[in-house]
A and B are shown apart, each in its own frame.
Chain A
Amino acid sequence: MSELLKVENLSVSFDTPQGTVHAVRDVSFSLRPGEVLAIVGESGCGKSVLCKSVMKLLPGTARVESGRIIADGRDITHLTEREMCRLRGKLFSMVFQDPMTSLNPTLPIGRQIEEAIQIHEPRIGRKALHDRVIELMELVGIEQAEERCKLYPYNFSGGMRQRSVMAIALAGNPKMLFADEPTTALDVTIQAQILDLLREIQQKLGTATILVSHDLGVVARAADRVAVMYAGKIVEIGTAEEIYYDPRHPYTWGLMQALPALAAERGELKAIPGMPPTLIDLPKGDAFACRNAWALAIDYEEEPPMFRISDTHYAATWLLDERAPKIPVPVGGKAYG
């Protein structure tokens, strides 16, 4: 299958008074039509910047240092703002973390969805417009859409607001949907419903989705593939099964061990010591080395390349080098099979 989105060696940095922040460093990945790719990592690891740099929603202080972004067969790395405007909403759109701040509090929900449709189809008739609004609201699981399209965001619960935001994002029939922590502001029960909705939409419309999250526990439900990010780099990428049952990178192990759901079964919760590095002065070698119990001498000298484990599974750790000592994997594997 051809790729819908291909990001090659993308590096993005920000100029701040404290120095240059290397938010995304040499990231490459691809997204196939109709798949859900989850990007997981701690806050400040560059997940959101990565999404926003594809959609070119970054502030002026951001610089794309190198790399190419190819969306739907077209190089969009150097497109102007005008050209990007035509693509946003049609080719890709985005759902943000907090639905209350992405909705306009002074307009009814229906009107806000109408607005998004009209931008893509300025000549749409009034009846067709209304029908489309109802169709979208029903698609995202808002019942009694006829009455509810007249309500305002403050009448809606958090889950319903997030559903409305998704209806707006889907108004232009995008081929790709970026969901940046769509469930973080929601309760556990609602969170599961929204994740199911993402999956459902992806199956109904074939929309490829990039799901950004900080919690490995959450993405298992929706993701086909998972990319783990640390300090601006993708350190491991593979199918959901490969990442959960056969993780190879020590950081992925750490994230899994820090999950209380697995700890309750094992009776201990293992934290990753230390903190993520600031992305201004990155240490020499592997950025994770100082928090890594399995760090090798070479980790402090040289950054590991991406090692291939299978056609779909790659990880950047020197432990996969043939000269490295063999280490029993502390998590994953048979225990959860």
Chain B
Amino acid sequence: MDEVLLDVQALSHRFRLTRHVYIQAIDQVSFTIRKGEIFGLVGESGSGKSTVARCVMNIYRPQSGKIFYKGIDVLDRNAFSENKKMLQTGRQMIFQDSASSLNQRMKVADLITEPFVIHRLKPKSGSLRAEAEAQLLRVGMDAGYLDRYPSELSGGQRQRVAIARALSMEPELLVADEPIASLDVSIQAQIINLFQQLQRENGFSFLFIAHDLSMVRYLCDRVGVMVQGKLVEVAPTAELFPAPMHPYTRALLSAIPIPDPRRERARKLCVFDGSGLGPGALRELAPGHFVYREEAAP
């Protein structure tokens, strides 16, 4: 549990809008994910959560900063190409909208076994089809779906196929970018339970990106809170939710809806005034509880 699997150090990335205008999507973000840990990343839309995920997965090349996966600098071209196969099979990603992340023209069986074809790996179950069936069973679907197209599946089923495909490579790090945001409440619960069960069985580390705070509270071991590209608070779930320290985290947590009319109507909203975001750095204010603090200008 203590071994660090992913170490992100001072990661920054910006996008160009016009010739001279840039948008700083992420700004000096540092965090670690230990082996077998579920790390949640929360924040409002546009706070840079997805950009972090994409940098971690080598989809974007960040402007500055370092990312170490199992001690390998994945941004270093030489180190990357030496360990290419391990890095590409060991890290897998699940996207928010499975309708667009799965190829509409491929059958479920081909979608799930495509990673084996790409990496020229021999499936454990002998044939590709047998492997697809085995993977499908793991995510709670039966062999009857093997010859279906994604358009014939419901949102929850498509997300299960996406999960089966990611897990077919037995990854050590699974990055899920809002995997349940487009699903119904009852189906969300099914997918979250599936994640929990698979994580217990396989012990992979999990970077879970979401804006649904109550789901993060339920699922994650540790949580990082992002706003305007900055990581403002990182703490174990059990500490963050009862005692948020950064003003933004407080505002965010005060907005979680409570399914109880009397308590909910009495709940006061705490509005974030934009304070506490000036130049500064993460400080460890309690063991394992990091909070972004402004540094007084010299």
Q: Cβ of A189 < 8 Å from any Cβ of B? A: yes
Contact check, B256 vs A255: say whether CB atoms are below 8 A apart. no
Contact check, A220 vs B259: say whether CB atoms are below 8 A apart. yes
Q: Cβ of A27 < 8 Å from any Cβ of B? A: no
For residues 185 through 231 of chain A, which have their beta carbon under 8 Å from a beta carbon of chain B? 187-193, 196, 214-218, 220-221, 223
> B189 touches which one: A190, A196, A241, A271 (CB < 8 A)?
A271
> A260 touches which one: B44, B156, B192, B271 (CB < 8 A)?
B192
Contact check, B257 vs A220: say whether CB atoms are below 8 A apart. yes
Contact check, B193 vs A261: say whether CB atoms are below 8 A apart. no
Contact check, A220 vs B261: say whether CB atoms are below 8 A apart. yes
In the bound complex, what is the Cα–Cα distance between A191 and B212 (angstroms)? 12
Given the complex, which residues of B lie within 8 Å of A271, measured CB to CB? 186-187, 189-190, 192-193
Given A188-B211, A259-B185, residue A269 in contact with residue B218 (CB < 8 A): yes
CB-based nearest B residue for A44: B184
Contact check, B184 vs A42: say whether CB atoms are below 8 A apart. yes
Distance in Å: Cβ of A41 to nearest Cβ of chain B: 9
Given the complex, which residues of B lie within 8 Å of A192, measured CB to CB? 255, 257, 269
Given the complex, which residues of A lie within 8 Å of B257, measured CB to CB? 188, 191-192, 215, 217-218, 220-221, 261
Q: Cβ of B217 < 8 Å from any Cβ of A? A: yes
Given the complex, which residues of A lie within 8 Å of B217, measured CB to CB? 260, 264
Q: Cβ of B188 < 8 Å from any Cβ of A? A: yes
For residues 240 through 266 of chain B, which have their beta carbon under 8 Å from a beta carbon of chain A? 251-252, 255-265
Q: How would you classify the secondary structure of chain A's contact residues: helix, strand, loop or mixed?
A: helix
In the bound complex, what is the Cα–Cα distance between A217 and B267 (angstroms)? 13
How many residues on chain B are close to A (CB under 8 Å)?
Answer: 39
Interface string of B259-298 (1 = CB under 8 A from A): 1111111010101100000000000000000000000000
Q: Cβ of A39 < 8 Å from any Cβ of B? A: no
Q: Cβ of B81 < 8 Å from any Cβ of A? A: no
Distance in Å: Cβ of B197 to nearest Cβ of chain A: 11
Given the complex, which residues of B lie within 8 Å of A63, measured CB to CB? none
Given the complex, which residues of B lie within 8 Å of A43, measured CB to CB? 184
Given the complex, which residues of A lie within 8 Å of B252, measured CB to CB? 188-189
Interface string of B103-135 (1 = CB under 8 A from A): 000000000000000000000000000000000
For residues 124 through 140 of chain A, which have their beta carbon under 8 Å from a beta carbon of chain B? none
Contact check, B189 vs A258: say whether CB atoms are below 8 A apart. yes
CB-based nearest B residue for A267: B218
In the bound complex, what is the Cα–Cα distance between A220 and B49 (angstroms)? 29
Q: Cβ of A34 < 8 Å from any Cβ of B? A: no
Q: Cβ of A254 < 8 Å from any Cβ of B? A: yes
Q: Cβ of A58 < 8 Å from any Cβ of B? A: no
Interface string of B158-191 (1 = CB under 8 A from A): 0000000000000000000000000011111110
Kindly list the 10 A-B residue pairs having the minimum CB-CB distance in the complex, ordered from nearest.
A271-B189, A258-B189, A271-B190, A272-B186, A261-B214, A240-B261, A260-B218, A220-B264, A260-B214, A187-B44
Given the complex, which residues of B lie within 8 Å of A193, measured CB to CB? 269
Interface string of B217-255 (1 = CB under 8 A from A): 111000000000000000000000000000000011001
Contact check, B186 vs A241: say whether CB atoms are below 8 A apart. no
Interface string of A238-277 (1 = CB under 8 A from B): 0011001000000000111111111110000111110110
In the bound complex, what is the Cα–Cα distance between A215 and B257 (angstroms)? 10
Question: Most chain-A Cβ atoms within 10 A of its Cβ — which of B186, B189, B264?
Answer: B186
Q: Cβ of B45 < 8 Å from any Cβ of A? A: yes
Contact check, A241 vs B261: say whether CB atoms are below 8 A apart. yes
